[in-house]
Amino acid sequence: MPFIQWDKSFSVGTTALDADHRRLLEILNRIYEAWQTDPSKVELDQLFDELLDYTDGHFNREESKLAARDYEGLADHHVQHERLRETVLAFRARHLAGNTPDALTEEMAKFLKSWLMDHILGEDMKYKPLFTGMP
């Protein structure tokens, strides 16, 4: 069973951003699965890189869509995205330094699960009316 299962309640009202969120959950599930099966350093490095690349792209797409709709909470939303990126970079740096990659990955997976769920279900739902037309 996946670490995080997509649920329709996660939908933010736009197919493109929902697809991005599904992909982020998929990457997180792969990180968790790798951690469960005794991952190699190379595999974890690749997963960290994929996560960073994808989150950068997603954040840019999401923020562009919000800017195009004059979302008033965009500045705060951007700050939250930057905090997540900084945290992932710190996890990655600790991993590359060889600081207990198995425990580190579990810690990261739990953090990301909590952050993504809180972010999608809390912060991202604030902009859903921009795409659905419904409050």
Q: Supply the DSSP string of 66-107, one letter for each residue.
A: HHHTT-TTHHHHHHHHHHHHHHHHHHHHHHHTTS-HHHHHHH
* CA 103 – CA 99 distance, rounded (Å): 9
Round the average pLDDT of the chain to a whole number and report it: 85
* CA 40 – CA 45 distance, rounded (Å): 9
Q: If you write DSSP's letter for every residue of 97-135 in order, what string do you get? A: TTS-HHHHHHHHHHHHHHHHHHIIIIIGGGTHHHHHS--
Going by pLDDT thresholds of 50, 70 and 90, the confidence category of residue 105 is low
Mean of pLDDT values over 91-115:
70
Question: Residue 9: in which H helix or E strand, if any?
Answer: none
Mean of pLDDT values over 68-86:
93
Please give the residue that has the higher pLDDT: either 134 or 63: 63
Domains annotated for the chain, with CATH where assigned, are 14-128 (1.20.120.50)
Mean of pLDDT values over 18-35:
87
Going by pLDDT thresholds of 50, 70 and 90, the confidence category of residue 18 is very high
